[in-house]
Structure 1
């Protein structure tokens, strides 16, 4: 792996009492993390007392050092503490680019250098969508992103379908290979809403609108349309 490719900033643990109430709170806090990416503080547990724990890891990937690499497998070592039920669930939540996660699994080492069974929690990433040379379109709606929730223009979490609450800035990237693009037209359900004649091309979508709609952007040079992009959107906005 290239120098600077991977950096783990600060792994940490949140503890909860080893009681039914402690388990319920731990599961609720874990669900909050899955939904929002927010980590909540656990509770004080006396040393030697039974407990439930959630282990968090905060990491950074430097895409500038990937060069030709497009698949990345990250392995986290997990060392069971004495007397701890060391069962590992292969659930995951990745707050950035979750669509890049292909699979997760657990590897076991039979003769680890530490006491007990050594296990590695593994995540495989397909990073191809993050690199410019893989973009096949000439016009790209870069905001709103696919499969994200936006609230008043702010990207919140990953969702199965792009969802917008409130207004949002629609931002567009145009491939320079198209030549001299002179304008970008913004459509909702094939109805022209706005024309921008200066880069960077954008439009503040802030009108009374509800439900599922088609958001489309078309780019033009002096004589013809040179490319377009379209996304299906669910939006709720009172304008």
Structure 2
């Protein structure tokens, strides 16, 4: 039998706290619908979702698994320095990040507490936590096995003493954000018209779809990395997008 509310069970363990379902219903009701943009996802995450699930920093990405490598197609972040976001690889080996690889294999929420890290956490991940002062990180997402694609979510700076609460909350959050990322990808795909580009610009797009960085593209085409960047700025403007991940999301 359970003891009084806020006390302990007969086994001597404190009852795990549960998500505030009223706060979740409010957040769910405020989620964007119809045509969804990355800016709308970010506004929902930083507003209604944060009131239900407090955090300091957020990273959400939709990607595909191709040849043992993850290729990011959509990326939304909150609270991370620009330099860190700009340095993220648009494609990486599945095993390069232990927590991500564990999540893909187990498809369950995980908590990465640097004070007591799980065995699958890599030195790289622990170094990032220390360097960026991330605190405790909670991760989850949704995988579509038929499309070899999925949405991965990471919340940093969450409460370290409510791990079961975090996992239950992430089970509610993950499918909603996955649906929003899918809606964002569909909108991006509808707005891309490569007929607006020159032959040279389409050549750069093809190289970008191979996951090549600007430096490699510049080397292949015999131009400077600065010129490659200028080309892509024009490409984004003509296609009505703002970054590489949107281009890849629309054309992959």
Please indicate the TM-score interval, normalised by the length of the shorter structure: under 0.3
Higher RCO by CA contacts (8 Å cutoff, separation 6 or greater): 2
Alignment TM-score, normalising by the size of structure 2 = 0.25
Greater per-residue helix proportion = 2
What TM-score do you get using the length of structure 1 for normalisation? 0.26
Q: Which has the larger radius of gyration?
A: 1
